Structure 1
Amino acid sequence: MTRALFLIAAVWFAAGFTQVQAGDASAGQTKYENACAQCHGASGRGAGSFPSLQDKDADFVTKRLRQYREGERVGSNTGLMAPAARDLSDDDIANLSAYISTEFQ
């Protein structure tokens, strides 16, 4: 009985974790349009010192946004991105990653 409950809990947790990681591209689009497009552009191509988001996979975007959120220095635009990412939730990051990785390929 204990083993069955453990297995059910493990499957439930794994399913929930995967869903959060997958993100909602539609919600990500809304967040992107309101918070990211001003610098990275509506098409994610960037301009000037703002880098392109074209061809970035979800894992890259997720990792980078988490680094910025934690205030970790990851490049010359950290000073601009850290304040922008500071209030992003894990769901926001998953949603943005889903949108960017599918829309800008």
Structure 2
Amino acid sequence: MSRLPFPAALLFTVASFSVSFNASAAEISQGAMLSNSCAACHGTDGKSPGAIPKLHGKSAEFIENALMEFRSGERDSTVMQRHATGYSDEEITLIADYFAGLN
């Protein structure tokens, strides 16, 4: 079994970490990007300044379930069903994870 020379092994290790870091960063930025449509009503940090419910402090599970219920019509809303209908299950999860991670 041959071994890689030290510089090649080091480069391979660094490249491996870089790929996994970039994949995580892409998911985070996609969740942040998707959450921009929520900011006008719920605030960029989920701390709504008015009568709109706050998302700050809510779990990802709570936010995801609420969005799924709005999308299906199971939960009554004025505008949330129209917003939620535009997102896939994966996108809803990314949005929920983003807001839950702001705690």
TM-score by length of 1: 0.68
Match of 1:16 in 2: none
Equivalent-residue separation in structure 1 for 2:49 and 2:74 (angstroms): 23
Q: CA RMSD in A?
A: 1.2
TM alignment of 1:57-72, pairs within 5 A: 57-72=59-74
TM alignment of 1:46-61, pairs within 5 A: 46-61=48-63
Equivalent-residue separation in structure 1 for 2:44 and 2:64 (angstroms): 19
Report % sequence identity: 32
Q: Which runs of 5+ in 2 are unaligned?
A: 1-26
Give the C-alpha shift of residue 81 in structure 1: 0.7
Give the C-alpha shift of residue 94 in structure 1: 0.9
TM-score by length of 2: 0.69
Give the C-alpha shift of residue 30 in structure 1: 0.4
Higher relative contact order (CA 8 A, sep 6+): 1
Deviating 4+ runs (over 4 angstroms) = none
